[in-house]
């Protein structure tokens, strides 16, 4: 019965993620951030347990469950970035960090590309902002509201040359 602890931790993580999504929909962004962090903590614990040779629990998760952990993790980081962008004082440094975690695994993730562009724009790195915004535009040419920030970035870039 090695499977239980891992499966339980996975279920807890997914529960927290679902609660986070609900909080986000209800515009309770701080609460959502807390839930996503809890979900990520459960997943970190899970990965540590699975990586521990003594536990011999490599087999404790099926391939399908490992896939679920990975996609849930990326969803949490993407959603955390979305929550942070809704705050009064946005921590763009952290938005960027979360989006880049997603892009390391899913280089074509539209939301992560777009939010990275927004973060870099606000951090004053217009070259990188433009790169990510153009990449996101390739993914979804009719993407949401990206074009005005795209235009601004172009303008800023030419102004700074």
d(C-alpha 88, C-alpha 153), whole Å: 22
Positions of E strands within 7-87: none
pLDDT digits (tens, 9 = 90+) for 11-36: 999 999 999 999 999 999 999 999 99
Using CB atoms within 10 Å of the CB of residue 68, give its burial: 0 to 12 exposed, 13 to 18 middle, 19+ buried.
middle
The radius of gyration of the chain's CA atoms, rounded to the nearest angstrom, is 18
What pLDDT, on a 0 to 100 scale, did the predictor assign at position 143? 55
Domains and CATH numbers, the chain: 1-89 (1.20.58), 95-161 (1.25.40.10)
**Alpha-carbon distances, residue 59 vs 66, 72, 122, 135 (angstroms):** 10, 19, 44, 38
For the chain, list residues with pLDDT below 70: 1-4, 52-60, 143-148, 160-161
What pLDDT, on a 0 to 100 scale, did the predictor assign at position 121? 97
What pLDDT, on a 0 to 100 scale, did the predictor assign at position 52? 64
What 3-state class would DSSP assign to 132? helix
């Amino acid at each position: 019965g090695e499977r239980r602890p891992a499966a339980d931790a996975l279920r807890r993580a997914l529960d927290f993620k679902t609660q986070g999504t609900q909080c986000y929909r209800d515009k309770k962004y701080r609460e959502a951030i807390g839930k996503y962090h809890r979900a990520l903590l459960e997943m970190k614990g899970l990965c540590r347990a699975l990586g521990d040779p003594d536990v011999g629990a490599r087999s404790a998760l099926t391939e399908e469950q490992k896939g679920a952990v990975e996609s849930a993790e990326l969803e949490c980081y993407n959603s955390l970035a979305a929550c942070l962008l809704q705050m009064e004082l946005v921590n763009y440094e952290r938005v960027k960090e979360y989006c880049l975690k997603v892009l390391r695994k899913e280089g074509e993730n539209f939301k992560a590309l777009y939010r990275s562009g927004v973060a870099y724009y606000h951090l004053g790195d217009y070259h990188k902002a433009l790169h990510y915004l153009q990449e996101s535009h390739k993914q979804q040419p009719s993407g949401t509201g990206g074009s005005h920030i795209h235009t601004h970035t172009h303008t800023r870039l030419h102004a700074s040359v």
